[in-house]
Chains A and B, each alone.
Chain A
């Protein structure tokens, strides 16, 4: 339901009554096919909101090219809506989809749970005078710039200045706009995403124009995400890219050129000014514009920043039971975290409503499939007008006539919209009536509508793989609008090729494989336990495999979080819940010996407390955690007063007098990472440092605390703690990796002190700090067993040795290997609340698998003709999914494809020297037939005539 807002929420978890209000779109959604003919004829030009109002759109338009649903809407700039004039669109719409009589509609729905994914609003920099946004035209926001870079953007992917439509050569980015400041109108927190999105914009800018000069004015570089450190290095390695650590303000616009001058300062050169063609303001993330209303309507609490108030033991839960929050409304987050909090909200909803899962769905029943394998191909061709999208360019009737002349075509017909419900019905009826056994739809890209037409074939009692789509819209009419005759010719060529392929198509069966409903969770830390509990609460048995004697993992060594969670109490309660849940079985002191099987049907053999156990399960979750680096630097292990941050936290909790009564305490950040050995940021250490510093200051306000850092990465709301530490006189001193602090133990009178020497770039001199206690931000490193576990479960590792997810952004809790999932620090270092978020996310993904009785394998998978297989193994090495293996046959070892694992990319097919392995539905026979049909008989004849004439 788009265009819809929640008006009222009543009731309680499991039984909410929600009133929704839908604004009129003035388009009947069921009828609109998204053909955009109305847009072409609409006379009203209106600033395009999707493109940040940089370019114009029409009063009737589709919001953006990938919009769901892909249908038009009419906004209030419409002449008819304003003055009752003009209704051209109504005249040109062949589907009669335009309805100016629509009025707002109210509807009451009954739901069991509510998920708030209200997102964020970009910060509006026009509230701050120093940036001159909306005053100088060549000052844009990062959101504006994002649209400029996009191929669907205002200038179709060209980065142009508004003032002269020229490519800017010198571009500046100003970071932290709206973030990390307490001045009125700004946000005190760090928005967390801007450093990396700016680097992305710089890289894309250099891709667009290698000559572009990019300057980035920044505070700390906060590359705390997975692979972000490398990304930063990549962006800064481009020639012509300069990162300058300085606050910056826009001071003036040059008359004439409209260039923009930026003022900034560096420790070496003082205050300077520089002229740029364009300035991009890297704006931060504000809470959703209507956050106050959301809070009131849903009855949920907000934090002081306007985001949903949550508890760090479960950041997905709000204070009102049955209402959950996912995505950036939890606080500034990037895409992977938004995805896993979304999956996690799904899992928690599942915990609440599992007892009624599947009760509202009905099964679709198709007629029995007709066996046509013994029949000659009888092809029906349906040529779509797509309103005027195709027919205004391609001569549809002549294409229909042409199709009838092609071999095996027994029927051809034109349709206004083949995708309309009545047209699909027509195809089904005609297929029956004319005895068609294959269907070619000459319309649009198979990408969107192939599933629909496959369904149409099933309704007609035909195998769904007997369909081929000839794309005469995107590949023809849309790109050749000015060459109508040639376009018609091309459409006919495409139809001919499609018919050639269709006549060679074979019926394929998709088969269902039963799913074992049990899950296996490897690792009994916070991640593993949270995930296991959420799965078990949805009615599934879970086996937790823990290598240690006790559950708890790394969290056993943590005492509080920065947000104030008492970790040990929380952990004890969690462990209690695990042991109390009858569906959860824990194996202690366990090692995994062997893993066999695949998605839905794994068998894992473990050794636990001296005996061997075999577990059958449908899904696997790898939550094996990470470890702490044992520093070899800064006298660690040589001097008893040198700790890691984690140890320091433990000593504080224990009440270690030396620590608590220290006069001076120094912390050194980035020990063992962000270097050549470990080229990543451990993400949690800056937060830990600030947390420990605040605790010590609370205990002893006079303690002198120095934190030596490279970039303070207290992203999100952690920035408030960083500020608090600073206000409490914790001293932050920045150092460069080329000039690291030096530590030596020195006798000072009676006692030995740890003398730390570090350059101070602000004061321009070297400082000597005599510390009683030194604490090191030791890196988080992958667990020792990561490699072994990866081998057993056939999953891959990232360059830094952590588990590699299937897709960094879109599939952050699953592996490319189907049925195997991941969460927690085994994926990448993360704070406790983030781990909990991800653990629920993994549970959500596991449930989408385990809640099904079967998994369906596509029919279009590879298959081996054993007779032709020479056992060379070329296909096996070509397959990343490990779907192919050798099996023993009476004729020796032969390759065999597991159709469940095969994804149908067909790489093996192109590598087999004997063509023994074939990708079904894309066979050589079908594709070569299609290629051969690219040249028509007439063309070949004409060419031969031409040759003869020459002779």
Chain B
């Protein structure tokens, strides 16, 4: 198994499970054990997940990737120590971010539902043609990529969060907006498109949105 097998879902699941930090170790870039250079996939997944975390209000520094060879024990120890100290100073997940535990979990679970979508987006829009550390950094940290990601991801996340919330009980637009800290106008826009997709329906009697049971 290659570090490129480390799924975005694994990382989100670990955070959702209560881990305060996640560290991914891969082989040195350009020194692949296979011939696939899948560690670049791990790097790209890490960049993407960091963006997701940022969207969820979670400090992206809680996720880290380092590349090293089997002979780099010293380096691993050094990097692990560094990361441990960093996470310790950040405190438990949510604390440095000012988020409640259940909020964090709620958001992570909502984001986890988007992993299949993220994989499609990665393939279509977010793949870096040149395999070099610099090219990846330049691409993923560019304004353009950030804007693209925001556009694609924030809507999807909002919908995913609303759907998740509606699982607990049918709610009105106002109540959804309040509970999730969204603008009522945005919620209403999302609800209209979700109704069209047949995911939710408006219950006129209760004046609230409810999930369509699959």
Q: B36 on the interface (CB 8 Å rule)? A: yes
A947's partner among B5, B38, B101 (CB-CB below 8 A) is B101
Q: Are A151 and B123 in contact (CB under 8 A)?
A: no
Q: Are B101 and A931 in contact (CB under 8 A)?
A: no
Please report the C-alpha to C-alpha distance between residue A943 and residue B93 in the assembled complex, in whole angstroms.
11
In the assembled complex, the CB of A716 is this many whole angstroms from the nearest CB of chain B, namely: 28
Q: Are B5 and A922 in contact (CB under 8 A)?
A: yes
Q: A152 on the interface (CB 8 Å rule)? A: yes
Within 8 A of B (CB), among A897-951: 903-907, 909-915, 919, 922, 924, 927-928, 931-932, 934-935, 939-940, 943, 947
Q: Which residues on the A side are within 8 Å of B45 (C-beta)?
A: 910
Please report the C-alpha to C-alpha distance between residue A798 and residue B205 in the assembled complex, in whole angstroms.
69
Q: Are A913 and B5 in contact (CB under 8 A)?
A: no
A157's partner among B34, B35, B74 (CB-CB below 8 A) is B74
Q: Are B1 and A919 in contact (CB under 8 A)?
A: yes
In the assembled complex, the CB of B20 is this many whole angstroms from the nearest CB of chain A, namely: 10
Q: B14 on the interface (CB 8 Å rule)? A: yes
In the assembled complex, the CB of A55 is this many whole angstroms from the nearest CB of chain B, namely: 14
In the assembled complex, the CB of B78 is this many whole angstroms from the nearest CB of chain A, namely: 10
Interface string of A840-862 (1 = CB under 8 A from B): 00000000000000000000100
Please report the C-alpha to C-alpha distance between residue A437 and residue B214 in the assembled complex, in whole angstroms.
38
Q: Are B4 and A932 in contact (CB under 8 A)?
A: no
Q: Are A935 and B1 in contact (CB under 8 A)?
A: no
Within 8 A of A (CB), among B31-76: 34-38, 41, 45, 70-75
Q: A391 on the interface (CB 8 Å rule)? A: no
**Contacts A151-B75, A479-B77; is A906 near B13 (CB within 8 Å)?**
no
Interface string of A871-883 (1 = CB under 8 A from B): 0101001111100
In the assembled complex, the CB of B111 is this many whole angstroms from the nearest CB of chain A, namely: 15
Q: Are B13 and A913 in contact (CB under 8 A)?
A: no
Q: Which residues on the B side are within 8 Å of A904 (C-beta)?
A: 1
Stretch of B112-120, B156-164, B186-194 with 4 or more beta carbons under 8 angstroms from chain A:
B112-120
Q: Are A907 and B38 in contact (CB under 8 A)?
A: yes
Q: Are B1 and A913 in contact (CB under 8 A)?
A: no
A919's partner among B5, B13, B14, B77 (CB-CB below 8 A) is B5
In the assembled complex, the CB of A928 is this many whole angstroms from the nearest CB of chain B, namely: 6
Q: Which residues on the B side are within 8 Å of A877 (C-beta)?
A: 123
- The binding surface of chain A is classed by DSSP as loop
Please report the C-alpha to C-alpha distance between residue A932 and residue B123 in the assembled complex, in whole angstroms.
28
Within 8 A of B (CB), among A385-436: none
A880's partner among B13, B17, B36, B122 (CB-CB below 8 A) is B36
Q: A150 on the interface (CB 8 Å rule)? A: yes
Q: Are A151 and B2 in contact (CB under 8 A)?
A: no
In the assembled complex, the CB of A501 is this many whole angstroms from the nearest CB of chain B, namely: 12
Please report the C-alpha to C-alpha distance between residue A932 and residue B9 in the assembled complex, in whole angstroms.
12
Q: Are B14 and A910 in contact (CB under 8 A)?
A: no
- The contact size tier of chain A is 35 or more
Q: Which residues on the A side are within 8 Å of B17 (C-beta)?
A: 931-932, 934-935
Q: Which residues on the A side are within 8 Å of B6 (C-beta)?
A: 910
Please report the C-alpha to C-alpha distance between residue A109 and residue B18 in the assembled complex, in whole angstroms.
62
User: How many residues of chain B are within 8 Å of chain A by beta carbon?
Assistant: 36
Nearest chain-A residue to B118 (Cβ)? A913
**Contacts A932-B17, A943-B101; is A913 near B2 (CB within 8 Å)?**
no
Interface string of A147-164 (1 = CB under 8 A from B): 000111000110000000
Q: B109 on the interface (CB 8 Å rule)? A: no
Q: A806 on the interface (CB 8 Å rule)? A: yes
Q: Are B18 and A910 in contact (CB under 8 A)?
A: no
Q: A816 on the interface (CB 8 Å rule)? A: yes
Within 8 A of A (CB), among B1-35: 1-2, 4-10, 13-14, 17-19, 34-35
Q: Are A924 and B1 in contact (CB under 8 A)?
A: no
Of B9, B35, B71, chain A has the most CB atoms within 10 Å of the CB of B35
Please report the C-alpha to C-alpha distance between residue A919 and residue B10 in the assembled complex, in whole angstroms.
14
Nearest chain-B residue to A903 (Cβ)? B34
Q: Are B10 and A931 in contact (CB under 8 A)?
A: yes
Q: Are A911 and B38 in contact (CB under 8 A)?
A: no
A910's partner among B7, B70, B92 (CB-CB below 8 A) is B7
**Contacts A903-B34, A905-B4, A906-B1; is A913 near B9 (CB within 8 Å)?**
no
In the assembled complex, the CB of A798 is this many whole angstroms from the nearest CB of chain B, namely: 13
Please report the C-alpha to C-alpha distance between residue A860 and residue B74 in the assembled complex, in whole angstroms.
31
In the assembled complex, the CB of B89 is this many whole angstroms from the nearest CB of chain A, namely: 18
Please report the C-alpha to C-alpha distance between residue A939 and residue B5 in the assembled complex, in whole angstroms.
28
**Contacts A150-B71, A907-B2; is A924 near B14 (CB within 8 Å)?**
no
In the assembled complex, the CB of B34 is this many whole angstroms from the nearest CB of chain A, namely: 5
Q: Which residues on the B side are within 8 Å of A911 (C-beta)?
A: 41, 119, 122-123
B116's partner among A150, A909, A914 (CB-CB below 8 A) is A914
Q: Are A928 and B1 in contact (CB under 8 A)?
A: no
In the assembled complex, the CB of B90 is this many whole angstroms from the nearest CB of chain A, namely: 16
Please report the C-alpha to C-alpha distance between residue A860 and residue B5 in the assembled complex, in whole angstroms.
13
Q: Which residues on the B side are within 8 Å of A156 (C-beta)?
A: 74
Nearest chain-A residue to B34 (Cβ)? A905
Q: Which residues on the B side are within 8 Å of A915 (C-beta)?
A: 116
Please report the C-alpha to C-alpha distance between residue A223 and residue B73 in the assembled complex, in whole angstroms.
32
Q: Are A913 and B4 in contact (CB under 8 A)?
A: no
Please report the C-alpha to C-alpha distance between residue A924 and residue B7 in the assembled complex, in whole angstroms.
9
In the assembled complex, the CB of A938 is this many whole angstroms from the nearest CB of chain B, namely: 12
Please report the C-alpha to C-alpha distance between residue A927 and residue B18 in the assembled complex, in whole angstroms.
16
In the assembled complex, the CB of B93 is this many whole angstroms from the nearest CB of chain A, namely: 10
Please report the C-alpha to C-alpha distance between residue A906 and residue B41 in the assembled complex, in whole angstroms.
11
Please report the C-alpha to C-alpha distance between residue A717 and residue B49 in the assembled complex, in whole angstroms.
56
Q: Are A806 and B4 in contact (CB under 8 A)?
A: no
B9's partner among A479, A924, A935, A943 (CB-CB below 8 A) is A924
Q: Are B119 and A874 in contact (CB under 8 A)?
A: yes
Q: Are A935 and B18 in contact (CB under 8 A)?
A: yes
Please report the C-alpha to C-alpha distance between residue A527 and residue B19 in the assembled complex, in whole angstroms.
58
Within 8 A of A (CB), among B74-108: 74-75, 77, 92, 101
Nearest chain-A residue to B12 (Cβ)? A931
Q: Are A907 and B117 in contact (CB under 8 A)?
A: no
Please report the C-alpha to C-alpha distance between residue A157 and residue B4 in the assembled complex, in whole angstroms.
28
In the assembled complex, the CB of A252 is this many whole angstroms from the nearest CB of chain B, namely: 35
Q: Which residues on the A side are within 8 Å of B2 (C-beta)?
A: 905-907
Please report the C-alpha to C-alpha distance between residue A487 and residue B17 in the assembled complex, in whole angstroms.
21
Q: Are B119 and A922 in contact (CB under 8 A)?
A: no
Q: Which residues on the A side are within 8 Å of B10 (C-beta)?
A: 927-928, 931
27 examples of A-B residue contacts, CB within 8 angstroms: A150-B71, A156-B74, A157-B75, A479-B77, A860-B1, A879-B36, A880-B37, A905-B4, A905-B38, A906-B1, A906-B4, A907-B2, A910-B4, A910-B45, A911-B123, A913-B119, A913-B120, A915-B116, A919-B5, A927-B7, A928-B13, A931-B10, A931-B14, A932-B13, A934-B14, A939-B18, A943-B92
4 A-B pairs with least C-beta separation? A906-B5, A905-B2, A816-B35, A880-B36
List 6 other contacts, CB 8 Å, given A880-B37, A911-B123: A860-B1, A906-B1, A911-B41, A914-B116, A935-B18, A943-B92
- The chain A residues found within 8 Å of chain B, CB to CB, are 150-152, 156-157, 447, 479, 806, 816, 860, 872, 874, 877-881, 903-907, 909-915, 919, 922, 924, 927-928, 931-932, 934-935, 939-940, 943, 947
